[in-house]
Chains A and B, each alone.
Chain A
Amino acid sequence: MTRLTKYSTDEGPGEYPRDRIFRPKSIAVMGVTPTPGTVPYDIFYNILSSGYTGVLYPVAPGRRSISSVRAYRYLTDIDDEVDLAVIVFPAAVCERALEMCGQKGVKGVIMISAGFREVGPAGAKREQRIRDVCRDFDISLVGPNCLGVINTDPEIRMNASFARKMPAEGRIAFLSQSGALCTAVLDYARAKQIGFSKFVSFGNKAGVTEIGLLDYLHKDDKTDVILLYLEELRDARGLIEEAKKISHGPNAKPILAIKAGRTPQGADAASSHTGSLAGEDAVCEAVFREAGIIRVDSIEKLFNTALLLTNQPMPAGDHLAIVTNAGGPGVMATDAAVGAGLQMARFTPETTDRLRAALPAAANVKNPVDVIGDARSDRYEAALEAVLADPDVHEALVILTPQSMTNIDEIARGVVRVNAGSDKPLACSFMGASDVQSGIEILQAAHVPHYILPEWACQAMADVQRIRRWRDTPLVPFEPLPVDRAAAGAVIDRSPSGYLQEDEALTVLAAYGLPTAPHRLCRSVKEAVAFADRLGYPAVLHVVSPQIIHKFEVKGVALNLADAEALAAAYEAMMANLAEVMPTAEIRGVLVLPMIPPGHEVILGAKRDPGFGPTLMFGLGGLFVEIFRDVTFGLAPIDAGTASRMVRGIRSIDLLRGARGMEAADLVGIELCLRQLGQLISDFKRIAELDINPLIAGPPERGCMVASARIRLE
């Protein structure tokens, strides 16, 4: 019952369609003008001056030539086949230009022009017409409202963008929804000597989305790492499915992302706990986690990690060794490493002996190894070789501070030599700026990652560890659970929009296998006592009324009623109180249930998010759930692996595992309930929100029980 991905899978016979955009043999730039400094001219000039290896045609009505290149009035005046059209006309005539592309048989288009969805309703209509034309003519479209596309492959060398310069060739692909950010990133990368394989600003995503581009880059043998900047997620499920294939399994490529901006929010204020807690950023975090996408919060961190991924092998574990000539930075780096989740390696006696033999008596031979301030290249090399040979060391960090006797360049060359002979990754931090610059350049030329501060290196190494752990996590295929859909449908289909009565909600949950206690909706104290007598005591009363959502707040819940007398008294008191505090509420009855034995109170929730689709929530429950906010999210439906990650991902998981003499909760039972809930909200589109708060999670031998539930239908 897994939903199929919605993104385009327009693979044509015999050719991967995105090649029309990335590897065109000919390009027509439509709407070129002869004025340098304008977007239409600069796009054309950039392709021309970047060394593009194909044929370039400027389409410039009214011009004989542009920069000495023969110009054409219309695309259809070009006799040859055109693989890619770059449209730089104003928005008002883009549809006409696109139709002409269709008539000419052009299958790849980059639409640079702005003036579409981003300017409001009129622009959105215009963009819809663009989509329609693309569909009619089977055109792959990047944009509109984008910076363009760059391919540094020497066989193509295409800068079809208005970025200032062509970046250097590299193994990193960058996809961005923001064109302005792209130019800043290009300039930053240039300063850091970082190159790219592909660089794409995809703008409004009217055609090709990040999902289609990820698919292309997965197959691209020039790309090792994919970086993504997103402002909205339109198809979260599609992104998860695609990204999982890329980041996990054969030919895995890491994906790192920055997510900024806001997705469209539901118009109504949420009335459920799930609704109030499931903010778009928290859900987005869950989407990325489920997809195996490493989320970072800055461009700096994005590239710090990418640098390590593209230039060094994947470590076999997370044990770090530090070699430094300064104690202070070594300790700070240790703090940063441990804080980022790395572990400090413990050297074997053989390594310690080897270090002792190579270093002066004053040196520290424990981790971090301090070769002390007067160290020159011989000590650095000996220490680094010794630690990298240690079986407990998985990766190393070299820190250098420039003392008067520090032969920086020689140390850099020594690090390069050792790195070349080792299969373990290492990074460097030559602290400073001016004196260490030549040493840094030696490292960079040899593809040894360098970071100005050791903490940045540690953060990058920690991100790489997240990737390694993700790859080592076995993925569990989704399997639908056996459920009684008809029984749940019988309740849902006959119910109007709004909240189901609690007894009806419990019926729906029971149909999907969630553990619910026997219960009855009673309309008199006599009926309630009779049912409780059969059920056994202690018992619980819940008022049922369409107007009463938060029962506790109006004393609409009575717990732990020990016998018939207590139950009758509680019933009467509840009715009297409600008559006073909510005189106009329609009381449909009182639900009688058994008192569930104490256990851990957890919350399970679901809501249908307009941007993300059906979303699940799990966390520590009870009255204070919105205060503690210790919750995790996932997109429904979920597999067993995701359910496990959600449950075990809350901060207070140790409480559920049994702490301070408390019993451990039935975690497997909770995970099953989450999966069942996910299947329920996926199967019934009318379910808008759903809270089970609390689910009482007893020990495994007793299991879980739904204590209270609310389901809102649309």
Chain B
Amino acid sequence: MDRQQIEQRVVKVVCRVLNVDPDMVRPESNFVFDLGAESTQSVALMAGFEQEFGIEMEQEAALAVDTVGGAAEFIEKVCREQGIEVDE
């Protein structure tokens, strides 16, 4: 699994759900503080990630992730646990 690929796809979901430009998004970007996510959008992000990667995430753990890079790391771990290969 390529972390960079995961990150790119995470950014794609983030830009779609939060309606932000990709150039605003960095690995260290906090969903709320840097990207303006509202509380309802946190759930939408989680759903978006699940759909994008074909995984199921434990809600409490997923919602505790607060940065883009953190999300990529979390998704990478879940993919590994659930035996999902990340395609381009």
Residues of A within 8 A of B (CB): 31, 33, 35, 38, 40, 60-63, 73, 89-90, 92-93, 96-97
Contacts and interface: CB of A to CB of B under 8 A. Distances in A.
What does DSSP make chain A's interface, helix, strand, loop or mixed? loop
Contact of A61 (B35, B39, B66): B35
A89 B36 contact: no
A391 to B, nearest CB: 67
A89 B39 CA distance: 10
Contacts of B32: 31, 61, 89-90, 92-93
Contact of B36 (A33, A38, A96, A97): A33
A60 B37 CA distance: 10
B15 to A, nearest CB: 10
A93 B34 CA distance: 10
Interface stretch (B3-11, B16-24, B51-59, B78-86): B16-24
A62 B33 contact: no
A61 B33 contact: yes
Contacts of B24: 62, 73
B39 A62 contact: no
Number of chain B interface residues as a range: 10 to 19
A89 B31 CA distance: 11
A62 B30 contact: no
A93 B33 contact: yes
Given A62-B18, A62-B20, A62-B24, A93 B30 contact: yes
Nearest to B21: A62
Interface string B35-72: 11111000000000000000000000000001000000
B36 A63 contact: yes
A96 B33 contact: yes
A61 B34 contact: yes
A90 B30 contact: no
Contacts of B37: 62
Contacts of A73: 24, 34
Contacts of B39: 90
A89 B20 CA distance: 18
B60 to A, nearest CB: 14
A97 B19 CA distance: 22
A86 to B, nearest CB: 15
Nearest to B29: A61
The 5 closest A-B pairs by CB, nearest first: A62-B36, A61-B36, A93-B33, A62-B20, A33-B38
Given A62-B35, A73-B24, 5 more contacts: A33-B36, A61-B36, A63-B36, A90-B39, A92-B66
Contact of A35 (B30, B33, B38): B38
Contacts of A60: 36
Nearest to B30: A93
Contacts, number: 35
Contacts of A97: 33
A385 B54 CA distance: 87
Contacts of A31: 32
Contacts of A96: 30, 33
13 contacts: A31-B32, A38-B38, A40-B38, A61-B32, A61-B36, A62-B35, A73-B24, A89-B32, A89-B33, A90-B39, A93-B66, A96-B30, A97-B33
A40 B37 CA distance: 12
B67 to A, nearest CB: 11
A38 to B, nearest CB: 7
Point out which of B19, B20, B38 has the most chain A C-beta atoms below 10 A from its C-beta. Answer: B38
A371 B30 CA distance: 75
Contacts of B30: 93, 96
A33 B39 CA distance: 10
Nearest to A41: B38
A236 B80 CA distance: 58
A249 B18 CA distance: 58
B55 to A, nearest CB: 24
B53 to A, nearest CB: 23
Contacts of A40: 38
B61 to A, nearest CB: 15
Contacts of A33: 36, 38
Contacts of B34: 61, 73
A31 B34 CA distance: 10
Contacts of B19: 62
Nearest to A61: B36
Contacts of A63: 36
A664 to B, nearest CB: 70
B46 to A, nearest CB: 16
Nearest to B40: A35
A225 to B, nearest CB: 40
A29 to B, nearest CB: 13
Contacts of A35: 38
A64 to B, nearest CB: 11
Nearest to B24: A62
Point out which of B19, B33, B35 has the most chain A C-beta atoms below 10 A from its C-beta. Answer: B33
A97 B33 CA distance: 8
A89 B34 CA distance: 11
A35 B24 CA distance: 21
A290 B19 CA distance: 59
B40 to A, nearest CB: 8
A469 B20 CA distance: 65
B86 to A, nearest CB: 27
A332 B42 CA distance: 62
Contacts of B38: 33, 35, 38, 40
A101 to B, nearest CB: 13
Contacts of A38: 38
Nearest to A63: B36
